[in-house]
Amino acid sequence: MKKLKKIAIAVAAVILICTLIYTIKPIYYRVYPFDRFMVNYTVSYNGERVRCEERYHRFEDDEKKIIQGRDKGKFKIRGGHYGEYNIGFVIRSKELYVMTDCDDSFLALEPFDFKFNYFNTNWWHITDMHIYIDFLKIDGEWYADCKQVITEPDVDESGRTHTDTYKCRVLLKDVNNYEYLPLSDVNG
């Protein structure tokens, strides 16, 4: 009977500790064992999905890490370090050539490398990122409307989150000239 009582106390203690970890957000964020960045993305033209030839990420000056697997519109990054993360999408100009009913302006262009930047201010952040790239033609020129929406925990560790939104419109033939896309904060 004593052995059963000890087991019951141990199980209750484990349940209590797990409950505390997952209900007290500062503890939860620090012991979170999974991927710390979830990146959802949509690349489209006229509402149709455009396939990415390559998806990648890089931390600080580390080597570029190619995301393996099929282009499903999302991927995860282990992350969890304080510092600068770069997330990129390479889209073949031939893919857009076909989707735009053979617009010849895409034939002479290199693949487009869309580079997004994110600075992780705290190693314990669990960040949800949504990236949108939409192609459109205005007055005979091709543009990309880009938007990055980042949701992360508040700095005060209250368990609340905040969302920041960044946007830009870039001339498509100039995309590869940017170190990172010139996104502007639209939060105010």
- Determine how many CB atoms are found less than 10 A away from the CB of residue 99: 18
- The mean pLDDT of 148-166, rounded to a whole number, is 79
What pLDDT score was predicted for residue 74?
87
**167 pLDDT higher than 90:** yes
Check if the beta carbon of residue 95 is closer than 8 Å to that of residue 87: no
CB 74 within 8 A of CB 40: yes
DSSP line for 27-44: HHHHH--S-SEEEEEEEE
What is the per-residue pLDDT for 50?
Answer: 93
> What is the pLDDT confidence band of residue 35, given thresholds at 50, 70 and 90?
low
> pLDDT band at 148, cuts 50/70/90?
very high
Count, residues in the chain: 188
Read off the pLDDT of each residue in 53-78 and give the average, rounded to a whole number.
Answer: 86
Confidence band for 63, pLDDT divided at 50, 70 and 90: confident
- What's the half-sphere exposure (Cβ side, CA atoms, 13 Å) at 169? 7
Cα R_g (the chain), whole angstroms: 22
Q: What residue spans of 88-170 are helical by DSSP H?
A: 93-99
Which CA distances in Å does 111 have to 95, 96, 138, 148, 186?
A: 9, 10, 20, 21, 28
Average pLDDT estimate for 128-132 = 93
Q: Which of 100-104, 112-116, 141-145 is least confident?
A: 100-104
CB-CB contact of 164 with 150 (8 Å) = yes
Chain mean pLDDT for the chain? 84
Indicate if the pLDDT at residue 144 is higher than 70: yes
Q: What CA–CA distance (Å, rounded) separates 129 from 119? A: 12
| pLDDT tier, 24 (very low <50, low <70, confident <90, very high otherwise) | low
Name the one residue in this structure whose structure tokens are 């895409």: 106
Average pLDDT over residues 49-65: 89
What integer pLDDT is reported at residue 127 of this predicted model? 85
> What is the rounded CA–CA span in Å between residue 143 and residue 26?
42
Would you tell me how many other CB atoms lie within 10 Å of the CB of residue 134?
A: 17
Which secondary structure element, helix H or strand E, spans residue 111, and what is its range? none
